[in-house]
Copies of this chain bind each other. A is one copy, B any other.
Amino acid sequence: MAKFPVLEIFGPTIQGEGMVVGRKTMFVRTAGCDYSCAWCDSAFTWDGSAKEEIEKLEADEIIARLQEEGGDHFDHVTISGGNPALLARLDELIDPLHELGIEVALETQGSRWQDWFTEIDDLTISPKPPSSKMNTNWETLDLILEKLDDAGRSKNVSLKVVIFDKEDLAYAEYVHKRYPNLSFFLQVGNDDLEEDSPSGLASTLLSKYEWLIDQVMASSALNRVRVLPQVHTLVWGNKRGV
C-alpha cells in the first residue's frame, strides 16, 4: 500500500469552486506541487512552511480519518493539493471510496497524466495563465484531454482558468478555442492572500468578479463558459480548513 503525503483532512463543507460549486464534500489536501504559481493560495503545500504537518498515510487511514470527521454526513470527497496528480497510486484511495458509494472530485493543473484520471467523477483541469509565471505544456495537456475523451470521460471533466488580468483573459480565450467542447469555467483570482477580514475580502472579490463578468460578456470568443467567484472565500475569507 502506498503512503500519501497528506496535509489536511476536513469537512464536510462546500466545494467553493468550479464544476460542482456548492457541493457538500470532504477535503483531502495532499502535499507537493511541480509548479510554484506566483499567487498560489496553498503555497504551504509545497514551500516547506507546513513541512511538519505532513502525515504519510495509507488509503485506509485516510478513509478512517474521513469517516471520523464526516460521520454519515457526506458522500463526496475532493482531493486537492498541491498537485495530487503527482501521486501515482491514488487509485488505492479512489477505488475504496467508490465502493463506499462516495464520489470523488480532484483538481490538477494538467502538467501530468495518471491512469486513475478516468476514475474521477468530477475532474477539474486548471491550466495556469501568464500571471502565475508558469508555462503551460500544451502537448501534455492535449494528451491528457485526448486520453480522457478516448475513455469517454469528457462529461466528468472541466477546464478552469483563474483570471487576474487581461493577459490571463487572452490565455483563457486561447484555451477555450483549443478545447471548445469541454465545460469551461473562468474564476476570479484572489491575490489578496494577506487580507484577514472576510467581509473586506468579499467586497474586493465581488468587484473583481463584476469586472470579469463585464469582460466575458463583451467577448464573442467566450460564449459557452461559466464565470464564478470562489464562494467559500466570500464566506470565510482566507481561513484554512473550512
**Which residues of A line the B interface, CB within 8 A?**
11-14, 20-24, 71-76, 185, 199, 202-203, 206, 209-210, 213, 216-220, 222-229, 231, 234-236
Distance, CA A156 to CA B103, complexed state (A)? 20
Q: In the complex, what residue of chain B is closest to A219 when comparing beta carbons?
A: B73
The reply to whether A73 and B220 form a contact with Cβ atoms under 8 Å apart is: yes
Q: Please give the distance in Å from A60's CB to the nearest CB on chain B.
A: 22
Q: Please give the distance in Å from A5's CB to the nearest CB on chain B.
A: 27
The reply to whether A22 and B227 form a contact with Cβ atoms under 8 Å apart is: yes
Distance, CA A223 to CA B13, complexed state (A)? 11
Q: In the complex, what residue of chain B is closest to A226 when comparing beta carbons?
A: B22
Q: Which of B72, B73, B76, B223 contacts A24 (CB 8 A)?
A: B223
If the complex has contacts A22-B227, A223-B24, A231-B229, are A206 and B217 also in contact, measured as CB distance less than 8 A? no
Q: Which residues of B contact A236 (CB under 8 A)?
A: 210
**Would you mind naming 15 contact pairs between A and B with Cβ atoms under 8 Å apart?**
A13-B213, A14-B227, A21-B21, A21-B226, A21-B228, A22-B228, A24-B216, A24-B227, A73-B218, A73-B220, A76-B224, A199-B206, A202-B202, A231-B231, A234-B234
The reply to whether A217 and B21 form a contact with Cβ atoms under 8 Å apart is: no
For the complex of A and B, list the 3 residue pairs with the smallest distance between their C-beta atoms, beginning with the closest: A22-B226, A22-B228, A75-B223
The reply to whether B75 and A224 form a contact with Cβ atoms under 8 Å apart is: yes
The reply to whether B213 and A14 form a contact with Cβ atoms under 8 Å apart is: yes
The reply to whether A22 and B185 form a contact with Cβ atoms under 8 Å apart is: yes
Q: Which residues of B contact A216 (CB under 8 A)?
A: 24
Q: Which residues of B contact A229 (CB under 8 A)?
A: 231, 234
